[in-house]
Chain A
Amino acid sequence: MSTLSPFTRFNVGPDAQGLYSPESEKDACGLAMVATLRGYGGHDIVDMALSSLRNLEHRGAVGSDAGTGDGAGILTQLPDKFFRDVVSFELPLLGSYGAGLVFFEAESADKDRTSFEKIALEENLKVLGWRVPPTDPAVLGDQAREAMPLIEQVFVAASDGANGLELERRLFRLRKRSEREIGIYHPSLSMRTIVYKGMVTTLQLEPFFLDLSDERFESQLALVHSRFSTNTFPSWPLAHPFRFIAHNGEINTVKGNANWMAARESLLESELLGDLDQIKPIVTPGASDSATFDEVLELLVLSGRSLPHAMMMMIPGAWEKQLDIEPKLRDFFEYHSMIMEPWDGPAAVVFTDGTLVGATLDRNGLRPGRFVVTEDGFVILASEIGVAHIPADRIVRKGRLQPGKMFLIDTAKGQIIEDEEIKREVSALEPWGKWLESRRINLRDLPEREHVRYSSASVNRRQRVFGYTEEDLKEFIAPMARMGQEPIGAMGTDTPIAAISDRPRLLFDYFTQQFAQVTNPPLDAIREEVVTSLTTSIGPVLNLLEATPEHAKQLVLDYPILTNDELARIKNIDRGNNIGKAVTISGLYRVDQGAKALEARLDEMANEIDQALEDGATFIILSDRDSNRELAPIPSLLSISAMHHHLIRKGTRSRAGIVVECGDARDVHHMATLIGFGASGINPYLALETAEDMVIRGVVQGITPERSSKNMVKALGKGVLKIMSKMGISTIASYGGAQCFEAIGLSQELVDRYFTGTITKLGGVGLEILHIEIEKRHLAAYPLESASTVHLPLEVGGEMKWRREGPPHLFNPETIFKLQHSTKQKSYEIFKEYTKAVDDQAQRLMTLRGLFKFRDDLRTPIPIEEVEPISEIVKRFSTGAMSLGAISPEAHETLAIAMNRIGGKSNTGEGGESVERLLDKERRSAVKQVASGRFGVTSMYLTHADDIQIKMAQGAKPGEGGQLPPHKVYPWIAQLRHSTPGVGLISPPPHHDIYSIEDLKQLIFDLKRANRKARVHVKLVSQFGVGTVAAGVAKSKADVVLISGHDGGTGASPLNSLKHAGTPWELGLAETQQTLLLNGLRDRITVQVDGSMKTGRDVVVAALLGAEEYGFATAPLVVEGCILMRVCHLDTCPVGVATQNPDLRARFKGQADHVVNFFEFLAQEIREYLAELGFRSLDEAIGHVELLDVNEAIQHWKADGLDLSPIFASKELGTELNMRRTTHQDHELESHFDFPYIESAAPALKEGKPFTIEAEINNTQQAIGTMLGNELTQRWGEQGLNPDTLQLKLAGHAGQSVGAFVPRGMKITVVGDCNDYVGKGLSGGTIVVRPPDGAGFIASENVIAGNVIGYGATSGKIFLNGIVGERFLVRNSGVTAVVEGVGDHALEYMTGGRAIILGKTGINLGAGMSGGIAYVYKLSEARVNREALQLGEITLSGTSGEDAVELRAIIQEHFNETGSVLAKSILDNFDQELSNFVKVLPRDYARVMEIQQNAIISGYEPDGDEVWTQILEVSNG
């Protein structure tokens, strides 16, 4: 019987079409939990939950149909009293019946009810009756009403009177079977809890379900949830809460988790739950990540584990690298890591079983959660503080969820159970540690093996077999072998993607990495390494629903990449150990017998593995060693994924660990794909042997062969960690099998069979072509006549650096020469030669758009005179975001001047802009970028923007941060970035104020208030699913969404990112256009595209696919003189374009006129195309995909399998009115808190006179003060006004981003508390937060403000009378702040300013901190970032002398502003207390400050050349 999936019902979403696919939908949200400790329920709890929900409205979203929400719901205890009153039939005692809502299809409801009752009987249950809960569909939006199910309520009891958990388990079976067999959806069916939810807004939930307003509806607890979906296709079943949880966040590893669940399914057994086959699959197809999580949690709980226990299994804290963790707890975590991989991703989960109710935060703590406890026993926890209005004098405790920690309430006992207590109990359940010790074994404990060394000739022959090139050796292997680090490159990629490459490519190349953008944050695997883990255990996995010592019988691998000797240990594991038996399966086939032989061999391998498992194998090694003239290696990725999925389908995957022994994998990306498709360990033997051989041959010097192998392993492993972290995944155990890749150019058939579940949108090659590629490589290794290539042991390569015999590059000597010459000479004829050379790609297949042709049979050409003039077209052009720092001031300014001249836009890039240029009409950049480092992002900067661009990701390295090394932080760079010359700067991988889509909405909100006139852009990188992200961006009210192709240039990027992350813009743009049209959102947002655009044809293709504006970066740089050296990261650009070196800058010869020529030529060429296509303007052309077609004339052995029609699928969706932006976002600026005060605060704003505003506020008022700040800056410029001129005295709960970008002259005092992002980008203002007088709690022990305070702030003061959350003062570059306690990762990447922490700190303080000074009370060394301390980057010392004077003055000011009791007590005993302060000082910063001080004393210019030379000496060591 086929399994039905009720999750796919009752929604308004379209089916997959074109490039759009519903599975790419993401969501995030707000949630709240209310409970009471008083021991009895009441309607007040329900009421409070519903009103909290309403105060979270701004965290949800509505789509194009303004009435339809993305979903909301509530979970409560069964309202027994209420039900007894409203049902017409007899109910047994509470605990002896279950109830729940049922979502029916109206037409089949009668039949389905009968079927349901029949299953109930089979499960030894009886249906007591049905009830139709009253609803009011009139309050719903149109879309929601259309999709609305028939909603009823069912009441069920046991036929034999069973009650309690026994009944609960039967209800579970009934519900599962009903869903599987009938296909109806049950929000819940339980004797403990009930869920009311649907496609409603937070405001509609209560009016829709009339039950909820009934005073008799009582509960001791309630969970509520408001959903923000990236799509506007919300569905009724996918609203939260689910049966046990509501979730804010995203499970990034869900595909892997679901696969592993499937793998474990055949082993599942539970006496308590009976025959599980009837309720399988446990994971319902079509369910969301949250729903899937809920299903597994439910299974774990109903099969006997406690709710906290199960939660700790699924979302373990970061135990692996925590020094001060309880040993028993560590044992608990380690034991359970052998049973289940973490469900990883940013998550705040509230959960309940009807008695226990709690919340937990994932190890990274990337979601907010704040709670208050009142004196009368109410506990309210929510995504924000202030959702329930409770007077401060009733509050006894204010806290927050902490990373990896659990917050739990036992409503039956009326107690809060603290995290330590929960964990103590759970870790004492069984002797986990003993079980581990008796069974577990670490790889390093296996007997050592003698190293086998291969001859150079052998290495070389096999290098040929696997298609190694000289470039691979030089650019990839050698740097990794030498330094243990992945190599860096620059300027993007411009070679054909594998799918249309003429030469044989490795299978790995057909997969591109997915990465986090917007809906979840990438991690910082370097600075926040403490939460990551590369350790995994392999071996047979036993029944998930039991816990026995045998479960611990696993082999622990500390690292996923294995040396040859380590693999040898595993191969010989049965010698003297009883841990298991390893069987090697050979992945070779008879190459002369073609693809059939390849396919047959894969089948044989599957059979061999089945047999091996029968015979008791516990470790399978898939090996491609020992190929010869007849036998060629099967791509290791194909072998592993094929076997992995074969075993999942057979249900035997978890019986053995699989290790891959492969010769083809040699790059970080290769490792990541192998792990992502199921490998538990990888021995890239040939890469390691190559490294050894290069050392032995003297090619790589200065290390031993052994070291080279270790370095390789290290570089590859670290690289994998980085790829994981781009996806926001912290542990390799959950990355394994998670398939975070998309295929481009593989046939659906191949993918379905061997890479099941992977996205492949364009179809493409199958085994036939893969075989041909293998065969070509094989022939190169075994040539008919070896003398023919006697002098070239390996092919040259040419993927990174152009070579004549290598793959073609769009930029090559001819195109660069012609582009430079034509723009210099102002010769349109030569320019046409250039564009022809670029466009003439049909034969060489460089780009997807090269495969398109224009259809000239649909419209009549018009004379070119009728087409809009060049001057109109050039306005749509912008230059790429390249920071001053990446490129030279000369190159940067030249672009700006050119763009200003033609009315286009240049972009500051991430690095600020000097006030001098900011105000210069000729030299300013119209687009100001806001990136994760927030360098130079001040009120002044934002106020003078035409466009503000939020860089979510960068084409060349999506999901990664950046780093400006010390020697590139020249004095002029440091000044712009508000940092210190000669001290390196880090751009974090994520924006620390964007962990979710609602956070992005918040930043857009903040920026729009920092400059109301500017358009706000969001820059995304093309990948599968970017369309739905763009829809989310449109719903977040961005004015422009920019889709960036994967091939964009960059100053520095790991090579794997450059080549293997993201997709061409053609795909991302088409998907965006289609998804926005499907959502009805296209007309309110401008779509921009960039990424390797070079010609008029490129622009016209982009216009037809739906883009209105076009960005160019590499091409105008070439016009300026760039010759694609690809050394931007080395600061040695020989033409002065991408360097700060003054000698090299002097060589810059670019001229604005030449750039102008380029853009005007481009526009002219566009006019010619428009005339041919019969359009009078670009506007007319936008979205007309019907004019694009596949060029059938192109015949190609590989590309012929591609199906490009999904790219053109928006044909039927658009109309003239909605294919481009025709209206605009409603930013609701007038309803902002500040708006009315712009008039009334005129004395301050206009005349600079003191003025005070007093007001009550609540959490729905966000970015308070930002709009006023913008007004002030407009008038008073960079210096603002005297401190405290304009004062805001506020009482209550401030919404997010209070005081964002507030300039000098403003002071905001909040008496109450604040949410996240207080003082974001603070630009000189002052912010004070303190509790009200008479509060019922001690300020210094309670939480007063949320996460990420003072992010990217440049100057000003912050005083916080209480504890705050994670990442305090991240990337602060000038603010002085005082706080009384902080969470994890405080002072991350701080580059300047002062931080005074008077209380407790979380872990990982000072990670990446490179400037400023912190004074921390009783700082424990264990809490400081370990690497920074070990490397001496940060020094800890006592506080004395001038420091003490400074410290005292600041604490005094803190006391004056807040009246802090703690401050008072310290000041009163300052001389004694001084010894408790630890001074945290970054080493390089200290050195530079000293040099500059000395310079000033000696009369030197502190930013002069001599001083700079001295700085360089110390910073480079």
Chain B
Amino acid sequence: MADPRGFLKVTERETAPRRPVPVRIKDWKEVYAERNGEVVKQQASRCMDCGIPFCHQGCPLGNLIPEWNDLVHLGRSADAIDRLHATNNFPEFTGRLCPAPCESACVLGINQPPVTIKEIEVSIIDDAFDQGFVTPSIPERLTGKTVAVIGSGPAGLAAAQQLTRVGHTVAVFERDDRIGGLLRYGIPDFKMEKHHIDRRIAQMEAEGTKFRTGVNIGVDISWDEIKRRYDAVVVATGALVPRDLDVAGRDAQGIHFAMEYLAQSNKAVAGDTVEDQISAEGKHVVILGGGDTGADCLGTATRQGALSVTTLAIGNKPPEDRSEDQPWPMVPNLFEVASAHEEFGERKYLHSTVEFVSENGRVTGLKVADTQFVDGKRVPTPGTERVIPADLVLLALGFTGNESEQLVSQLGTKLDSRTNVSRDDRYQSQDGVFVAGDAGRGQSLIVWAIAEGRAAAAAVDEYLEGETQLPFPVKPTDKPLAVYS
């Protein structure tokens, strides 16, 4: 490490500023202003190169964070991207979208603001692309084995890239019209512009990965057919069944799942024509759910020209600081201000939705009540009901499982107790069929998806070749560090 006293010299955390709100809500571009390379270098010098880097543990990918922090500090960009790519196929995605459990685990964070790991990560890959360090790694020798990867989200793409590089012939199937899954249609451009995906896909194509869009496995081609056509199949179809809110009035018009709304918006932003697009323009919008998806909806609605946006959460407002039951290095549940929250709207807590109010079949508002906790359950407090007006309601309540009917019916695949596709400790669900990402794990973070994709690739390679040199960063059962008792 270049300077063991770096953290004592640079004591403040500093990240790239976001563009001014009035400016940025006028476009769909990423909210951050240009990064100052010197600041990034300085921030990198705050890394203490710990004896036990908890960040490296906190990251499901096992990113070699102290190593590349040091390399960034020394200005050795080419080595830095190598060290980053060693554990992470797509740092340009994680560097923008990951909630950074590494920073929660940063040892410096015990007493000081943690190192800006995520920003350093994204600066490494952006520099690398700019300077042309990102080139295809084409296998020298093909195995002759073929693999179908179903789903082109981060898990599928990671598995595909790993398998391609060890010489297997890989085809990625995507039922949508473009590659990327949730990355493309779930994430608004103001968080990640889509050219990042295109650039990575280009590299993968150059390496030999084949992409088949608009093919819905289970419908267009049956699962057993795909299993017959390929030597191995990786199921990376995600966990896309949204959680619904079963209260009176749910069938009124103007109540939509967040993903439906976001996908349409993303397509529109990409230049597609979307028939009957759900739009927030000129509307009073209520978003149910205070998580990242809710914030994505908020930012989107803001840019579409909503009159008002209210985010309702059923639970308590999270604390500003770590609570005792969420000690370092756990990922704490904290009150966070996403870029969208800075821009517009109102956040309300302890609101239980009792009923959707509608007129003429169109939603006009929500009847809400104060939440109270009874035996640990959240229930509305009788007598506190009131109505919040709304003409667009977006449900951002998370996901409950995957769309696995055909998988089950056509291949006899088993599901686990949480309706995820079950698999063994080498990601195998049945002979030659492997499951990676949210499809097996349930709704999770992009880093877990990539980590699973990488690990599943190792399992597939081993299955096909008898041994593998691919890394196996996580087991299907691995969980973040937490207090379980």
A residues neighboring B (CB under 8 Å)? 470, 491, 698-699, 780, 783-793, 796, 800-805, 809, 811-814, 816-817, 820-821, 824-825, 827, 829-830, 833, 1121, 1123-1127, 1130, 1132, 1134-1135, 1143-1144, 1147
Contact = CB atoms under 8 A, between A and B. Distances in A.
Contact of A801 (B50, B79, B327): B50
Given A784-B469, A786-B140, A791-B85, A698 B54 contact: no
Contacts of B50: 801, 1123-1125
A1125 B485 CA distance: 27
Contacts of A811: 52
Most chain B beta-carbon contacts within 10 A, residue among A793, A1134, A1147: A1134
Contacts of A803: 53, 56, 62, 64
5 cross-chain pairs, A with B, having the tightest CB-CB distances, nearest first:
A1126-B51, A813-B57, A791-B85, A791-B86, A792-B86
B95 interface: no
A801 B470 contact: no
Contacts of B52: 801-802, 809, 811-813, 816, 1123-1125
Most chain A beta-carbon contacts within 10 A, residue among B8, B51, B330, B484: B51
A830 B485 contact: yes
A1134 B484 contact: no
28 contacts: A698-B76, A783-B469, A784-B469, A785-B141, A787-B138, A787-B140, A788-B468, A791-B137, A801-B51, A801-B66, A802-B51, A802-B52, A803-B53, A803-B56, A813-B54, A814-B481, A816-B52, A817-B481, A825-B324, A830-B483, A833-B485, A1121-B110, A1123-B50, A1123-B54, A1127-B4, A1132-B7, A1135-B111, A1144-B8
Contacts of B112: 1134
Interface string B456-485: 000000000000111101000000010111
B62 A804 contact: yes
Most chain A beta-carbon contacts within 10 A, residue among B5, B79, B140, B485: B485
B319 interface: no
A496 B48 CA distance: 25
Contact of B137 (A790, A801, A827): A790
A805 B138 contact: no
Given A796-B64, A817-B329, A1123-B52, A1132 B5 contact: yes
Contacts of A804: 56-57, 62, 473
Contacts of B53: 801-803
Contact of B7 (A789, A805, A825, A1134): A1134
Contact of B107 (A805, A1125, A1144): A1125
Contacts of B82: 791-793
Nearest to B139: A787
Contact of A791 (B83, B108, B473, B484): B83
Contacts of A788: 162, 165-166, 468-470
Contacts of A812: 52, 57
Given A792-B82, A803-B62, A1143-B8, 13 more contacts: A780-B469, A785-B140, A787-B138, A787-B167, A805-B471, A812-B52, A813-B481, A814-B57, A817-B329, A1125-B52, A1126-B51, A1132-B48, A1134-B111
B193 interface: no
B49 interface: yes
A1123 B52 CA distance: 7
Contacts of B58: 813
A788 B165 CA distance: 6
A480 to B, nearest CB: 16
B48 A1127 contact: yes
Interface string B9-48: 0000000000000000000000000000000000000001
A594 B139 CA distance: 29
Contacts of A789: 469
Contacts of B54: 813, 1123
B119 interface: no
A1126 B64 CA distance: 18
Contacts of B471: 805
Given A1124-B52, A1127-B51, A829 B4 contact: no
A1135 B51 CA distance: 13
A1135 B485 contact: no
B148 to A, nearest CB: 20
B9 to A, nearest CB: 11
B231 interface: no
Contacts of B139: 785, 787
A1331 B324 CA distance: 74
B76 A699 contact: yes
B337 to A, nearest CB: 27
A1092 to B, nearest CB: 15
B281 interface: no
Contacts of B86: 791-792
A414 to B, nearest CB: 69
B167 A785 contact: yes
Contacts of B8: 1132, 1143-1144
Contact of A821 (B105, B165, B166, B483): B483
Given A833-B484, A1125-B107, A1134 B62 contact: no
B176 interface: no
Contacts of B79: 699
A1495 B469 CA distance: 66
A1079 B48 CA distance: 51
A566 to B, nearest CB: 32
B67 interface: yes
A1479 B167 CA distance: 77
Interface in B45-98: 48-54, 56-58, 62, 64, 66-67, 76, 79, 82-83, 85-86
B108 A1134 contact: yes
A789 B162 CA distance: 10
Nearest to B84: A791
A968 to B, nearest CB: 14
Contact of A1134 (B48, B67, B330): B48
Given A813-B481, A1134-B108, A824 B327 contact: yes
Given A790-B137, A791-B83, A1123-B107, A829 B485 contact: yes
Nearest to A1121: B110
Nearest to B85: A791
Given A699-B76, A813-B54, A824-B327, A787 B137 contact: yes
Most chain B beta-carbon contacts within 10 A, residue among A699, A811, A1125, A1135: A1125
Interface in B128-183: 137-141, 162, 165-167
Contacts of B51: 491, 800-802, 1123-1127
Nearest to B57: A813
B329 A1134 contact: no
A1059 to B, nearest CB: 14
B62 A805 contact: yes
A812 to B, nearest CB: 6
Contacts of B108: 1134
Contact of B4 (A699, A780, A802, A1132): A1132
Contacts of A699: 76, 79
Contacts of A783: 469
B49 A801 contact: yes
Contacts of B481: 813-814, 817
Contacts of A805: 62, 471
Nearest to B59: A804
A821 B322 CA distance: 14
Contacts of A813: 52, 54, 57-58, 105, 329, 481
A218 to B, nearest CB: 71
A1197 to B, nearest CB: 15
A793 B4 CA distance: 26
Given A1134-B7, A1134-B107, A1125 B48 contact: yes
Contacts of A820: 327
B279 to A, nearest CB: 43
Given A796-B64, A813-B329, A821-B483, A1130 B4 contact: yes
Most chain B beta-carbon contacts within 10 A, residue among A802, A1126, A1135, A1147: A802
